[in-house]
Structure 1
Amino acid sequence: MKKGNQYEGIIYKIEFPNKGIMIIEEESGKTERLMIKNALPGQRVRAVVTKRRKGKSEGRILEILEKSPAEMDGGYCAHFGICGGCLYQSIPYEEQLKIKEGQVKALLDNVCSNYVFDGIKASPMIDGYRNKMEYSFGDEYKDGPLCLGMHKRGSFYDVVTVEDCRIVHPDFTKVLLATKDFFAQTKTGFYKKMQRTGYLRHLLVRRAVKTGEILVALVTTTQLDAFSETFPVGEEKNMEDCERELLNQWKEKITQLPLEGKLAGILHTKNDSLADVVQDDGTEILYGQDYFYEELLGLKFQISPFSFFQTNSLGAEVLYETARNYIGETKDKIVFDLYSGTGTIAQIAAPVAKKVVGVEIIEEAVEAARMNARRNGLENCEFVAGDVLKVIEDLQDKPDLIILDPPRDGVHPKALGKIIDFGVEKMVYVSCKPTSLARDLVLLQERGYKVERVCCVDMFPGTANVETVCLLTRIK
């Protein structure tokens, strides 16, 4: 098998998260695996080898020759296969759950044994479940008209306007289209990553499922000359005045939309970072406030524009209820919630615990956690701002129970070693990336912990992602 070779075959399985596997039989009789991203099990495809390294081959799809028998004939998003988001949307939901359950079980079986696998729990909502979207400005093809939406699958530059997206509430689409149309009419330029020039970067929309409150943030550069054609500069106008006028006109456009929910705030965020990420280098409130409220399991949470909060609110209730069941009795116990975000799990565990200590690196999220705890009448919660690796040794309390909810890359090995050194009887690990969980479980087991129970929770219908909750106990 060589780079550039083309093959036809059937994808016999898909490994987490999106690695379709085709078996190629060479003329010599030798068989090899070709890994093809974004292929579905059962599809017959024509693919080209794009990478060959250390005996492993990767490829990309040139043509789908036959659909998977598991795929539906219709009823899915108009952007399916174009937008880079929902890989599994053409597959019935029950089959999606089986695929994700099998992927996680296969990963964990490679590193664990003699544990109870509690299967997978479905999301309460399949469509319209997301409470947050980060849209990008761009064009669908080079020098094409302005687009606002998601990157095309496999493209770093091209953007598709996702006006028919199925995983968001219709209010998202109204804000999306109104924003795109406004800036297209005013001929405002978007930020071009290679040239590092332009004004418009991202549109952030957050909408609470329980309260219906909506927060909208326009993310731009500080390159004010990007809309000089729209507002010519004269003796009585400078570029800052032009920007103010432009933003006020956009704000009025959004406030007049017939939304089902209620606008909590409209914001303007500046970001001159070279990285293609939504980053806050300064935020101004154009309307309302810079936060909104969501409710989970009877508790109320204030959420700021850039703080972490699970993107599926109803699914988060299933996830945290599962974690709470694994945590078990917390009466008179000190609980550490590491990588605590806005303190959601900490506050769910707090009502009967002696004390809960949360550690989170993002200071904005820590402040939100403190406010949320006060709002929910929880006086036994303490939240510390800092990197878990650096601050864990300085904590005054000693835990009886530890909850881990790290980012996608999992726990830093040195931090995990320090966590293990506490010697708690029980840990609950909540993971948004099962490959990272499987890696961390190796060290945890080597250092004296046993995997007792594992349960998957589907927070992302239509996509390849899944959450996993794992209960570990210390071997005596």
Structure 2
Amino acid sequence: MQCSYFDAARCLSCKHMGQPYAEQVAAKELHCRTLLADHTSLQWLPPVESRESGFRNKAKMVVGGSVRNPTLGILDAEGRGVDLRECGVCSPGLRACLPVFAAFITEARLTPYDVPRRSGELKHLIITESPDGELMLRFVLRSENLAGRIRRHLPSLLDALPQLKVVSVNVHPEHKAVLEGEREILLTEQSTLRMRINDLDLHLRPQSFFQTNTEMAAALYRQGRAWVNEVGPASVWDLYCGVGGFALHCADPSREVLGIETSREAIVSAQLSSRDAGLQRVGFQADDATAFALSADRTPELVIVNPPRRGIGRELCAWLESSDVQHVIYSSCNAKSLARDLAAMPSFTARRVRLLDMFPQTSHYEVMVQLERS
């Protein structure tokens, strides 16, 4: 894939832009193999490749420029807006809506936030596209001052983009490098974006996390479901469950499934998805994964962990090591923390591993490992 922004050094976020895709995937697998070299019993399954371009279902666009000429993209070293409306890793549906959003900023007179001067209101637009082409739009504002103006002008935006189903305002008053704040104000009657993944509808609320590559997310959940069904456990915990992707895919009348996630928004999403699907013996609870495990009075036969980049950490590793859990499926977005965590659980043997290229044009990837107690 070639990118004019990268070639002109306007955006260098995709560090491997221009490198042949096969070489990217091979380098990622070599990186992962090197980190997991001590696990000599591992069977390496073929990597799952992504589309090279148009794969991102989510765009996090910094708003710069002026009301009359807004930019949607990133900021340069001086804090000026760099427009990236034609970013090739974003889906065609996302790219098509960006000019409409830029025009809306002008129409509604939404003042872009000026980072160097700490003035203005509109910081970011966060746009998510579902597999069916429906959209969620979040305006990240410095304060509530423009929320009423957005609400008044919203009908014209909904007319221009009938696929826009969920719109909200996120209030982020602090001047720091954090994408969003804690408070969310919903502006539409519909509160969730339906993400059709494999044979399930997952409901995504504004502050819920979802993988940015829909096709790779579907492959991730299929692989997890296949490994769980091979083992056939009577009980499963999905720790760091997010909106419940693994838990919902592993649901079966023969087993009890419980998902744990700190985000209450994500848990509400997971519960709605479970109810809509009519799933039995599937539950979700808002809690810290480690705290939940340490305080539990029983253990499941199989645990799925899908932690953030820092990994599951020393305490949860120690709990798994000393527990009577027989099987673990570890889905990781950081092979370095994965390798560290596996070393802390010597009672488990890593049997199979699969790399999924969730993030083409970058050095990042997702990797899944199947573990069983030795």
SS at match of 1:337: strand
Cα 1:333/1:89, change in 2 over 3 Å: same
- Kindly report which structure 2 residues correspond to 1:76-115, keeping only aligned pairs within 5 A, or say none: 76-80=2-6, 81-109=9-37, 111-115=38-42
Name the larger-Rg structure: 1
Structure 1 counterpart of 2:90, one-letter code: V
Structure 2 counterpart of 1:149, one-letter code: G
Cα 1:378/1:243, change in 2 over 3 Å: closer
- Kindly report which structure 2 residues correspond to 1:66-85, keeping only aligned pairs within 5 A, or say none: 76-80=2-6, 81-85=9-13
Structure 1 counterpart of 2:345, one-letter code: L
1:121 and 2:48 correspond? yes
Do 2:229 and 2:250's aligned partners in 1 also have CA atoms closer than 8 Å? no
Do 2:320 and 2:345's aligned partners in 1 also have CA atoms closer than 8 Å? no
- Which one of 377, 390, 401 corresponds to residue 291 of structure 2? 390
- Which one of 175, 182, 187 corresponds to residue 97 of structure 2? 175
For each residue in 1:71-97, what CA deviation from the matched residue of structure 2 results, as whole angstroms up to 9, or x when unmatched?
xxxx52221243243222312222221
Aligned to 2:152: 248
Aligned to 2:348: 449
Do 2:237 and 2:258's aligned partners in 1 also have CA atoms closer than 8 Å? yes
Do 1:137 and 1:191's aligned partners in 2 also have CA atoms closer than 8 Å? yes
SS at match of 1:266: strand
Aligned to 1:162: 84
Aligned to 1:200: 122
1:149 and 2:73 correspond? yes
Aligned to 1:347: 248
Structure 2 counterpart of 1:148, one-letter code: L
Q: Distance in 1 between matches of 2:184 and 2:369?
A: 38
Structure 2 counterpart of 1:217, one-letter code: R
Q: Distance in 1 between matches of 2:109 and 2:200?
A: 44
1:424 and 2:325 correspond? yes
SS at match of 2:250: helix
Q: Distance in 1 between matches of 2:231 and 2:165?
A: 36
TM-score w.r.t. the length of structure 1 is: 0.72
For each residue in 1:188-242, what CA deviation from the matched residue of structure 2 results, as whole angstroms up to 9, or x when unmatched?
4333445543201110101112x22111111101174xxxxxxxxxxxxxxxxx7
Structure with the larger RCO, 1 or 2 (CA within 8 Å, 6+ apart) = 2
The 10-residue stretch of structure 1 (403-412 or 176-185) with the greater mean CA deviation from structure 2: 176-185
Alignment coverage as a number of residue pairs: 371
Tell me which protein shows more strand as a share of its residues. Answer: 1
Structure 2 counterpart of 1:117, one-letter code: W
Q: Distance in 1 between matches of 2:269 and 2:176?
A: 26
Q: Distance in 2 between matches of 1:418 and 1:306?
A: 30
Q: Distance in 1 between matches of 2:57 and 2:245?
A: 16
Aligned to 1:303: 204
Please report how far the alpha carbon of residue 318 of structure 1 lies from its aligned counterpart in structure 2 after TM superposition: 1.3
Please report how far the alpha carbon of residue 335 of structure 1 lies from its aligned counterpart in structure 2 after TM superposition: 0.6
Cα 1:283/1:339, change in 2 over 3 Å: same
Do 1:78 and 1:164's aligned partners in 2 also have CA atoms closer than 8 Å? no
Cα 1:376/1:156, change in 2 over 3 Å: farther
Aligned to 1:462: 361
Do 1:101 and 1:119's aligned partners in 2 also have CA atoms closer than 8 Å? no
1:132 and 2:45 correspond? no
SS at match of 1:407: coil
SS at match of 1:101: helix
* Structure 1 residue runs without a partner (length 5+): 1-74, 225-241
Q: Distance in 1 between matches of 2:318 and 2:117?
A: 44
Cα 1:369/1:185, change in 2 over 3 Å: closer
Structure 1 counterpart of 2:274, one-letter code: A
Please report how far the alpha carbon of residue 145 of structure 1 lies from its aligned counterpart in structure 2 after TM superposition: 6.1
1:435 and 2:345 correspond? no
Tell me which protein shows more helix as a share of its residues. Answer: 2
1:220 and 2:144 correspond? no
Q: Distance in 2 between matches of 1:295 and 1:133?
A: 19
Do 2:243 and 2:269's aligned partners in 1 also have CA atoms closer than 8 Å? yes
Q: Distance in 2 between matches of 1:131 and 1:426?
A: 32
Cα 1:223/1:309, change in 2 over 3 Å: closer
- Kindly report which structure 2 residues correspond to 1:14-53, keeping only aligned pairs within 5 A, or say none: none
Cα 1:156/1:429, change in 2 over 3 Å: farther
For each residue in 1:17-56, what CA deviation from the matched residue of structure 2 results, as whole angstroms up to 9, or x when unmatched?
xxxxxxxxxxxxxxxxxxxxxxxxxxxxxxxxxxxxxxxx
Structure 2 counterpart of 1:320, one-letter code: Y
Cα 1:298/1:187, change in 2 over 3 Å: closer
Structure 1 counterpart of 2:43, one-letter code: V
Cα 1:330/1:173, change in 2 over 3 Å: same
Q: Distance in 2 between matches of 1:167 and 1:107?
A: 28
Cα 1:363/1:146, change in 2 over 3 Å: same
Please report how far the alpha carbon of residue 352 of structure 1 lies from its aligned counterpart in structure 2 after TM superposition: 5.0
Q: Distance in 2 between matches of 1:440 and 1:171?
A: 39
Please report how far the alpha carbon of residue 286 of structure 1 lies from its aligned counterpart in structure 2 after TM superposition: 2.8
Identity value in percent: 27
Structure 1 counterpart of 2:74, one-letter code: M
Structure 2 counterpart of 1:255, one-letter code: L
Q: Distance in 2 between matches of 1:84 and 1:185?
A: 31
Aligned to 1:415: 316
